[in-house]
Amino acid sequence: MKYAILVNEGPFNHQASDSAYQFCKHALQKGHEVLRVFFYYDGVLNGTKHSAPQADDRNIVKRWSQLGKDYHLDLAVCVAAGLRRGITEEVVAPGFRITGLGQLVEAGIDADRTIVFGD
Amino acid sequence: MKYAILVNEGPFNHQASDSAYQFCKHALQKGHEVLRVFFYYDGVLNGTKHSAPQADDRNIVKRWSQLGKDYHLDLAVCVAAGLRRGITEEVVAPGFRITGLGQLVEAGIDADRTIVFGD
Amino acid sequence: MSAESDNSAEPKVKRFMYVNRKAPHGTVYALEVLEMVLISAMFEQDVHIAFLDDGVFQVKKGQNPAVLEMKDFSKTYRALEGYGIEKVFIEKESMEERGLSADDLIIPVEVIGREELGALMESMDVVLSA
Amino acid sequence: MSAESDNSAEPKVKRFMYVNRKAPHGTVYALEVLEMVLISAMFEQDVHIAFLDDGVFQVKKGQNPAVLEMKDFSKTYRALEGYGIEKVFIEKESMEERGLSADDLIIPVEVIGREELGALMESMDVVLSA
Amino acid sequence: MLHLVNKSPFERNTLEACLKRAPKGSSILLYEDAVYAALQGTTLSAAMTQAAKTHDIYVLTPDLTARGLDGASILEGVRPVDYDRFVDLTADKGTVQSWL
Amino acid sequence: MLHLVNKSPFERNTLEACLKRAPKGSSILLYEDAVYAALQGTTLSAAMTQAAKTHDIYVLTPDLTARGLDGASILEGVRPVDYDRFVDLTADKGTVQSWL
């Protein structure tokens, strides 16, 4: 299966980003494809390189970057939603890219399934 | 009256930051004091200098900075919550400062009223 | 059902639904869903918009968030038709529960029953909600 | 009532209540309220903690968020007493509605009726909720 | 005491949670999406009319206006207030509790 | 079709909203805070037991475990699944709709 994933919420505050990550990891391990993970609404906040949670907690941003690296994932942060919330080229974490909302629709067209994780 | 204000949510996604701002503005205009506006949970996201909303929308971050300047407000961003979410010295907007959670408790002790704006 | 094994040269046209269940202004979802809908119009897909539960308040007439210095995007719903987006539905039961009638709405939309809406949702390829 | 006009040299001691109404793990509020509570202990205030509605799930025994790579902070509730925070309340009706009993809880807390909890809330100087 | 409620009662349980605990005679301000609780002609109108007999219920006018609602659509017994009165209420009614 | 619900039914209306629209026979996965809907002995257990007769209801085990709940505390008729089965369900049941 080819998946498109939409993440609506930022890291830590809601479990949405955790659930999306776990879903992607398990889908990829089972041999499915994830065409794109699109970060919209507060979801763009997953793309900040400045996140530095406590040592005994998971690092949600780095974890996405690593999964992206391991599986050549497209981690796409919406430019308009990012501008509102201060996620711009200056702060974007490795492996994420800032792009237009059209890329979400495109992923929805190309994927067999689109799954939304939100609040 | 002396007020302490707690803002639990970031800009745009929830109205909480708007409501807190409107409340502070009206309280200050009526001659009340706002001892501290404390930003906790996703509220720390109000303190990013990289927020650049569309021209036809309000600029929530700048508006807080301006209100802070006009009334010498203490705009305090929680360090621990900020670290989780990438709000650090590198990105903090003018007029905001990063500080410990104890400052919220202190404000609650010193103020006549503590008001929480959240989701 | 979805066009899973469509390898033809035909451009894919999928049935998209944007589901609006949340009230406007208290959160940004209504505004950002609308931005998504407008962009989706450029992709020549079979776009559906549904307003249900508190989402019906998004198309309430007479909104004026400027009193709170907030952006008034409600007029943008009127632009949907110009973008070729004509399949706009509102759930009858959600309106009734909230004391709204078709006269209260900023645009003409198709009023649809709850059961029918459930069946329409089942017929989609992509459902985007917020 | 609050110590509005307290100009004495005595250190102010206010009645603080931390209100927990949300389930753990689905959102971060439970964890960050707990961090706030621990810090408040340093200020020698009259600290109260209340668990009601879905907040009662925060003190459910046997939590293991490590299976989701999430932080297990539930054991920290056991540290409250060591910080001198002893006024910890859980609402009886909220537990009953969710099928929980005192045996299900990770720490001993005072079970309090709904009406009594409402009255206790009224007696506070500062109420912090999330 | 002043209780603040900011979420739609059709979506969340915060208004109900507040009404269950707030002693009779205490004050409740509905703002943000909670202003929908003050509407006439909804499935909640009867319960809210009852609640307004035991509690002082206020609704924030600018949040109504933003949502296309006006005084005429509001339940009898619910009192519209602007931000200045919101500030006054926090000063007059003692401790403020937000139901989140 | 597969419906996803992630919020506690005691706090929000999303599970109810889903059950009102999801045709009989469709599948619903409860995850994150929605796993509380699958608990025995709550005020919602009777309604959920009924719902499990008209819909295929699944609950995500790791979200139960995280919250200190185990299989023994789950309503009869609700099927526990892990993340691998979650992935399978999205593949097998067609379009996925999240009730947010």
What digits encode the pLDDT tens for the residues C10-43? 678 999 999 999 999 999 999 999 999 999 989 9
Q: What is the pLDDT of residue D120?
A: 98
In chain A the domains, ranked by start, together with CATH numbers, are 2-117 (3.40.1260.10)
- HSE-CB at D47 with a 13 A cutoff on CA atoms is 22
Q: Pick from F55, F95, F100 the residue to mutate for testing the C interface (most C CBs within 10 Å).
A: F95
Instruction: Please choose, from the candidates D86, D84, D62, D82, the residue with its C-alpha nearest in 3D space to the C-alpha of residue D74.
Output: D62
Domain count, chain F: 1
Residue F9 sits in which domain range?
2-99
Nearest to C73 by CA among C29, C113, C22: C29
Tokens of C56: 């019906």
The terminus-to-terminus CA distance of chain D in angstroms comes to 22
Given the residues B7, B34, B78, B111, the one annotated as active site: B78
Cα separation, D111 vs D90, in Å, equals 5
Q: What is the pLDDT of residue C8?
A: 53
AA letter at F9: P
Q: CA E84 to CA B116: how far, in whole Å?
A: 17
Q: Give me the amino acid identity at C100.
A: L
SS3 B107: helix
d(CA A13, CA E45): 34
A18-47: b or e for each residue (b if 16 or more CB lie within 10 Å)?
bbbbbbbbbbbeeebebbbbbbbbbbbbbb
Residues contacting D103, CB < 8 A, separation 6+: none
Catalytic: which of A4, A37, A75, A78? A78
Asked if pLDDT for residue F23 goes beyond 50, the answer is yes
Amino acid residing at B50: H
Sign of torsion over alpha carbons B79, B83, B85, B86: positive
Rounded to 5°, angle at Cα D92 from D91 and D95: 90
Helices D114-122 and E14-21 cross at an angle (nearest 10°) of 90
Which residue in E has a C-alpha nearest to residue B7's C-alpha? E98
Chains that touch D (3 or more CB pairs under 8 A): A, B, E, F
- CA–CA dist B68, C68 (Å, integer): 19
B88-109: average pLDDT: 98
In Å, how far is E12's CA from the nearest CA of chain F? 5
pLDDT at C69 over 80: yes
Within 13 Å of residue C121, how many CA atoms lie on the same side as its CB?
32
Across chain E, mean pLDDT equals: 97
Q: Is B24 among the residues known to form the active site? A: no
Amino acid making up residue F22: A
- CA F19 – CA B119 distance, rounded (Å): 25
- The band of D77, judged by pLDDT with boundaries at 50, 70 and 90, is very high
State both tokens at A12.
């830590």
A49-104 pLDDT, tens per residue? 999 999 999 999 999 999 999 999 999 999 999 999 999 999 999 999 999 999 99
* Rg from Cα positions in chain F: 12
CA B47 to CA D124: how far, in whole Å?
30
- Give the mean pLDDT of chain B: 98
Q: In the beta sheet, which residues pair with residue B11?
A: none
Q: Does F84 touch chain A (CB under 8 A)?
A: yes
The pTM assigned to this predicted structure is: 0.96
- Is the per-residue pLDDT at B30 higher than 60? yes
What is the predicted ipTM?
0.96
Question: Coil, strand or helix: which one is C80?
Answer: coil
Distance of CA C106 to the CA centre of its chain: 13
D58's tokens: 């925060």
Three-state secondary-structure class, residue B69: helix
CATH (domain of E60): 3.40.1260.10
Compute the count of residue pairs across chains D and F with CB atoms less than 8 Å apart: 63
Write out pLDDT tens, residues E46-92: 999 999 999 999 999 999 999 999 988 999 999 999 999 999 999 99
pLDDT at A10 over 50: yes
Domain C13-129 belongs to what topology? Answer: Hypothetical Protein Ychn; Chain: A, (3.40.1260)
- Interhelix angle A16-29/A60-71, rounded to 10 degrees, is 20
Strands F56-60 and D110-112: unpaired
Check pLDDT > 70 for residue C2: no
Q: Domain map of chain C by residue range?
A: 13-129
Question: Are B86 and A50 spatial neighbours (Cβ–Cβ below 8 Å)?
Answer: yes
Tell me, what's the pLDDT at D8? 53
Q: How confident is the model at residue B74 (pLDDT cuts 50, 70, 90)?
A: very high
| Percent of chain C whose predicted confidence (pLDDT) is above 90 | 90
Find the residue in C nearest to E33 (Cα). Answer: C26
* Chain C meets chain D (3+ C-beta pairs below 8 A): no
CA quadruple E20, E26, E29, E30: dihedral sign: positive
Return the pLDDT at D2.
44
Instruction: Report the C-alpha gap between C74 and C60 in whole angstroms.
Output: 8
CB-based contacts of A22, cutoff 8 Å, min separation 6: D68, D69, F62, F83
Cα angle for residues E18, D76, A16 (degrees, 5° grid)? 65
CB count, 10 Å around CB of A56?
8
Locate E96 and state its tokens. Answer: 């403020």
CB contact under 8 A, D69 and A15: no
Q: Is the pLDDT of residue F71 over 90?
A: no
Distance CA B89, CA B79 (A): 10
CA nearest neighbour of F37 among F67, F22, B18, F26: F67
* pLDDT tier at C77, thresholds 50, 70, 90: very high
Residues 6-35 of E with CB under 8 A from C: 6-8, 10-11, 32-33
For position D4, what pLDDT does the model report?
47
